[in-house]
Chain A
Amino acid sequence: MKPYQVLIFIACVMAGLATLCVVLPGRIALGATELKWPALTEVLGIQKTPDTIIPMDTIAQLDTLLTPDTVVQQEQTLSPAIVKADSIAPQKEDNCQLSTVNYQLSESDSRIYLSSFYASLSQSGKQVVRVLHYGDSQIEEDRMTQQIREALQDRYGGSGVGLMPLAQTIPSRTVKQQLHMNGRQIQPAQGPRRFIVYGPKRDRRDDGLYGVMGQVAVMNDSLVPGSEKLMAVCTPQDPKNRYSKWQVLADSAIQYSFSRDTVFLSGKGNVYGLSQESDTGMIVDNIPMRGCLGLVFTKMDSAQLADFYREQNVRLIILQFGGNAIPFNETPSTIQGIVRGLRKQVQYLRMLAPEASFLFIGPSDMLTQIDGVWQTYPMVPYMDRLLQQMAQDEQIAYFSLYRWMGGSGSMAKWQEAGLAGEDGIHFMRSGARKAGNAVAKWILEGIESE
């Protein structure tokens, strides 16, 4: 073939594709499936933004007057601050100065709802002041909680990493666990039967007795009573996390003893968790609930929770949820439903822990591919604002992780900077450290400004 013939072939292919761009731009329904093809302007880069799925319908039965439209508008009005935060995000962690730009404008007020917690800090020299950090997979492995714990313990004393499950199915960065049963080392999955309030149906139980961590290990569940003898070696990975006492949250039928980093357990019954802690000062517990929307607290036994919150002097409950709602809910109404559900959880927990203050940490920026382009899930800013509104209505503190990161698209910058993973959702360890430090700093700054 001659080169000009090849050229004609290339031209024909391009002309064919261009014709399709003119004739069939956008989405074409083909039965149950949908065919997509770009418009010419999109191909040539004249119109780069693909369709967004932000719904334009108005929302009548809303707790707030927010709509996705107004959220987008508000985003735009915050643009100077967002730009500033953007410029910070891509830098490496060590060079970063934590930005408080956005929420100084609109959210610093919410820290007044932490007043009761701030006041309780004065007790930390004499007794334990406990902080529970419930969250989704973003806080697994003690991410973010670790920084909050370090900041509070540095200033107000206390030691130990706090609560951990009997069988650590998800490793922690701060405590390494080895499990032995009847004299031989086993893997966590080979340990006692577990029930998890945020797990699938097969892993749940009817009586609601999951303990404060939302998961319970049942020793000698189906065996001859007393046949399982467990030994858990839980070694803190950092000397800073040395502790002065063990605590075992278990039924009275469970016998236990300790030797340094090892706890020995026998008997038949529920074990709700182990805890390494100090006699006084701050104890900050990391309680990750993988895949959880945060709507599970009302399924947990109220008396059990209330007893723990009261006896252990829980003075701050941090709830970090919302992210798991985003990929599955594309309409404002479903997001509103979830936020309503979260509001009920907050009310329920406040009833059980009347002495505690509450801080809600909203979802981070999250990316998905829409028409082949990575961009923020359209519902993230909307959910963030609804959660903020909910927090304001319920008079609890709110930290917008999304806006602190830099708003829409900031996750991509975090990825470039090696702070977030390729999935566009989870932080890398360095990113989690940065976010944890930001939350810790924000909480502590509130004390100073009191």
Chain B
Amino acid sequence: MDFLQYILAFNSESPLLFTQFYFWAFFALVYALFALLLSLPFGKGSGLGSPYKKLHLRNIYLMFVSWFFYYKTSGLFLLILAFVTLSDWIIAGRIKSAISHHKPQIAKGLLCLSVIIDLGLLAYFKYAYFFTNMVNDLFGTGFRVFDIFAYIGNGFAEAGRFSVDTIVLPVGISFYIFQVISYTVDVYRGRIQPVKNILDFGFYVSFFPQLVAGPIVRAEEFIPQLYKPFHLSRRVFGIAVFWILNGLAKKIIMSDFLAVNLIDRVFNNPLLFSGFENLFALFAYSLQVYADFSGYSDIAIGLAMLMGFYLPMNFNSPYKSQSPQEFWRRWHMSLGRWLKGYLYIPLGGNRKIGFGTYFWLSLIAFVSAALTNWWWQILVPFALFMLVVAVINSAPFRERWGTGFYKLLYSNLNSFITQVLGGLWHGASWNFIIWGGINGIGMIVEKIWRKMNWHLRFLSITVLTFGLMALDYFYALPVWRLFLVWSAIIWIGTAIRYVYWLITQDMTINCQLSIINSKLSKAWAILQTFTFITFTRLFFRSSSNLDPATANEVAWETARNMVNQIGGAWNNAIIPEFLWAYKYVVAMFVAGMLIHWLPTNWKRRYRLAFSAMPLWLMVIVVCLAIVVIYQFVTAEMQPFIYFQF
């Protein structure tokens, strides 16, 4: 009985995770029934019904399996998933009907209703603490969150069964809410037809490989697959197995091993470690976040492939990006595409700015002022900025200045908003907003930098470096030292390229020299982008086991302490000692980055080579790979060693 309860009932301490044996046993069982179902002879004369019925049954089966998976992970929050499934399915159907009857206002109203319901639920579960704290901070009130769902639940169950004082975030809500929004909006836009059967739709919303951690599947990408029969070529099968192994290795070797042995302890207490250790941990954290998240996505993509479904690519070697803008096209691509399609473009993209742009910018400025308590310092310049934007956006100016300028302006403003709101999507705390904001600013600065000619680039970086040098001399704050070192590195790179440009601008350049220059420039851009993205990670980490106010405080303090150490507690003498003592961690990091930076063609080749293996050999390779991965699960921990005293 206990065993059955362990297998079937929700237990918050043992969710179904891709890295656990229980999940794979679950998947094997699910697949066995899946295979049995698909081998049934549906079709004319079989007595079982049409081939469509088989697809329908497959979808229903996978939906219930997915619901069980979600129940094991999140318990009664399954009801929330069921509710948004029902709500969006009904509303999308009504929208289609309103459009067919030429009632666009009703369709728009229904779309708004759906978005309000979906975002309302997300806001309630994910942002209730955040907004409550913000209101309390602003107005000195003492509001506390109240879990209305727990209250209702207590009405049905025995009193006090659910706590009304805390709101627990349902797993994966940020992902499936975005999926249902994409469905309703796509129906409204006429890009897809509404799904006739609610169970088919339920399958789209809850498909278990991507339910809790993405990729976020847009309706127009997935809904058509609901009606396609199972097809899995031999090569795709091999690729699917490869993705699963690749994901497991990333998650356990590159992510968990690095986290447990170095990153967690440094982020937990940066002051215990020297500047170099902090910097190393920060870069390693960049790799860890990527390996963790993309590892999960790889496994999800592989699992879906084995069942004949294709999920979108979610990461495309993001640390190969040569600019922050490119990074966001390679990192968490399904979210990037979602935000572009359902936020950036509706805001106006690079075509226009409208009420939405002004509204969101004003809100961001207001929130920033509230956060820092720098009311007039932020709001006055912001008001002036908005005034300037409004003036230059007026018709007379628009006619005078070219469209290129306006495209840049519109795109910068709208992508900044997208970045900040994208930051908020990652977590309900200030540090994620700051993180999004820094990314937005970085993107804008890089775009402007690329528009500059070499004279201006060299001049601006020189002025910046000297300014930081003066600041560092008179006010030796770690943050100035940090910026100064970075700025000086950029200055050196810029100076070399500036001199090269001065020498070669009027010359016919040797082809080989040009190729070398191009490759060096590319490597330089990749390193600078990777460094920038890594430093934004200072604000990306937040403890989930703390209450939001404390989590904010801890995240901010961690970032500040890391900057203090990197900019103020540098000690070259201990670098070799550290590298030797942490040699396995360092080797893993270096190996991870080198693999990441392998040319795309090489990666494709070894993926294909793997998929072309004879099946018996593939079984052996998979078993050996799992044995190797297990060694990292059970590896002895790197002991604490202090270098900085």
**What is the CA–CA distance of A170 and B642 in the complex, to the nearest angstrom?**
13
Check A171/B564 contact, CB under 8 A, given A12-B619, A137-B272, A423-B265.
yes
- The residues in A between 135 and 165 inclusive whose CB is less than 8 angstroms from any CB of B are 137, 140-141
A317 within 8 A of B: no
| A residues less than 8 Å from B31 (CB atoms) | 3, 6-7, 10
Measured in the bound complex, the distance between the Cα atoms of B620 and A190 in whole Å is: 58
Shortest Cβ gap from A414 to chain B (Å): 10
A239 to B241, CA, bound (A): 63
Residues of A within 8 A of B22 (CB): 45
- B601 CB within 8 Å of chain A: no
Contact A426 B268 (CB under 8 A): yes
- Give Cα A188–Cα B569 distance, bound, in whole angstroms: 8
B96 close to chain A: CB less than 8 A: no
Give B460-505 interface residues, CB cut-off 8 Å to A. Answer: 473-478, 481
Cα–Cα, bound, A368→B269 (Å): 17
Number of interface residues of B (CB under 8 A): 70
Contacts of A92 in B (CB 8 A): 547
A141→B38 CA distance, assembly (Å): 64
CB distance from A385 to the nearest CB of B (A): 22
Contact residues in B for A369 (Cβ distance below 8 Å): 260, 634-637
Report the minimal beta-carbon distance from A209 to chain B, rounded to whole angstroms. 17
A1 and B623 contacting across the interface, CB-CB below 8 Å: no
Measured in the bound complex, the distance between the Cα atoms of B26 and A73 in whole Å is 39
Whether A190 contacts B28 in the complex (CB less than 8 A), given A327-B639, A415-B545, A425-B640, comes out as no
Chain B 202-234 interface mask (CB, 8 Å, partner A; 1/0): 000000000000000000000000000010111
- Among A97-150, those with CB < 8 Å from B are 137, 140-141
Distance between A14 CB and nearest chain B CB, rounded to angstroms: 6
Q: A13-B623, A416-B545 are in contact. Are A3 and B39 (CB under 8 A)?
A: yes
Nearest-neighbor residue (CB-CB) of B259 within chain A: A422
B32 CB-CB contact with A under 8 Å: yes
The prevalent SS among residues of A at the interface is mixed
Interface 0/1 of A406-450, CB less than 8 Å to B: 000000000111100111011010100000000000000000000
Binds B, one of A35-43, A273-281, A305-313, A349-357: A35-43
| Residues of B contacting A: mostly | helix
Nearest opposing residue in chain B for A196, CB measure: B645
Whether the Cβ atoms of A372 and B545 lie closer than 8 Å is: no
Distance of A28 from chain B, by nearest CB (Å): 10
> Contact at B627–A20, with CB atoms within 8 Å?
yes
Give every chain A residue within 8 A of B543 (Cβ-Cβ). Answer: 418, 422
Return the contact of B634 from the options A16, A372, A416, A428 (Cβ within 8 A). Answer: A372
With A171-B271, A189-B569 already in contact, the answer to whether A418 and B546 are too (CB < 8 A) is: yes
A1 x B476 contact (CB < 8 A): no
Contact of A418 among B21, B28, B550 (CB under 8 A): B550
Contact residues in A for B635 (Cβ distance below 8 Å)? 369
Q: Using A3-B38, A291-B642 as known contacts, say yes or no to A184 and B268 having CB atoms under 8 A apart.
A: no
Q: Which residues of chain A are near B306, meaning CB under 8 Å?
A: 6
- Against B, the Cβ 8 Å flags (1 = close, 0 = not) of A1-26 are 11110110111111011001000000
Interface residue from A170, A187, A196, A421 paired with B478 (Cβ < 8 Å)? A187
Q: Which residue of B lies closest to A430 (CB)?
A: B550
Alpha-carbon distance A141/B271, docked complex (angstroms)? 9
The size bracket of the interface on A is 35 or more
Measured CA separation A12–B619 after assembly (Å): 7
Nearest-CB residue, chain A, relative to B308: A3
Partner of A9, one of B478, B615, B627: B615
**CB nearest neighbor in A for B564:** A171
Question: How distant is A378 from chain B, measured CB to nearest CB, in Å?
Answer: 13
Q: Are the CB atoms of B545 and A14 closer together than 8 Å?
A: no
CB-CB contacts of A356-392 with B at 8 A, as 1s and 0s? Answer: 0000000000001101100000000000000000000
In the complex where A418-B543, A430-B550 touch, is A327 in contact with B269 (Cβ < 8 A)?
A: no
Task: Flag whether B312 is at the interface (Cβ < 8 A).
Answer: no
Given contacts A7-B31, A10-B28, A184 and B476 within 8 Å (CB-CB): yes
Question: Given A14, A45, A189, A422, which contacts B568 in the complex, CB threshold below 8 Å?
Answer: A189
Q: Encode contact with A along B309-329: 1 for CB under 8 Å, 0 otherwise.
A: 000000000000000000000
Contacts A13-B619, A368-B637, A418-B545 given; does A423 touch B645 at CB 8 Å: no
**CB-CB < 8 A to A190: which residues of B?**
476
When C-beta atoms are compared, the residue in chain B nearest to A373 turns out to be B634
Residue of A nearest to B307 (CB): A3
Residue-wise, chain B 542-584 has the 8 Å CB interface mask toward A (1 for contact) of: 0101110010001000000100100111110100000000000
Q: Roughly how many angstroms separate A43 CA and B267 CA in the complex, as a whole number?
A: 32
- B268 and A422 within 8 A (CB): yes
B645 and A203 contacting across the interface, CB-CB below 8 Å: yes
Are B645 and A199 in touch, CB under 8 angstroms? yes
Looking at the assembled complex, report how far the CB atom of B233 sits from the nearest CB atom of chain A, in whole angstroms. 7
Q: Cβ of A96 < 8 Å from any Cβ of B?
A: no
By the criterion CB–CB under 8 Å, are B35 and A3 in contact?
yes
Measured in the bound complex, the distance between the Cα atoms of B523 and A188 in whole Å is 36
Contact A188 B568 (CB under 8 A): yes
* Choice from B267, B546, B568, B642 contacting A290 with Cβ under 8 Å: B642
In-complex Cβ contact of A189 among B241, B571, B636 (8 A): B571
Q: Are A184 and B474 neighbours in the complex by a CB distance under 8 Å?
A: yes
Residue A62 interfacial (CB < 8 Å): no
Say which residue of A16, A169, A199 sits within 8 Å of B619 (CB atoms): A16
Interchain CB contact under 8 A, B623 and A16: yes
Chain B hits for A430, CB < 8 A:
550
A–B Cβ pairs within 8 angstroms, 10 of them: A6-B35, A9-B619, A169-B645, A186-B476, A188-B568, A189-B569, A372-B634, A423-B264, A426-B268, A426-B272
Q: Beyond A2-B39, A6-B306, A9-B615: 16 further Cβ-contacts under 8 Å?
A: A1-B237, A2-B35, A2-B38, A3-B232, A6-B31, A36-B630, A140-B271, A184-B473, A185-B474, A186-B476, A189-B571, A327-B640, A328-B639, A418-B546, A422-B265, A423-B264
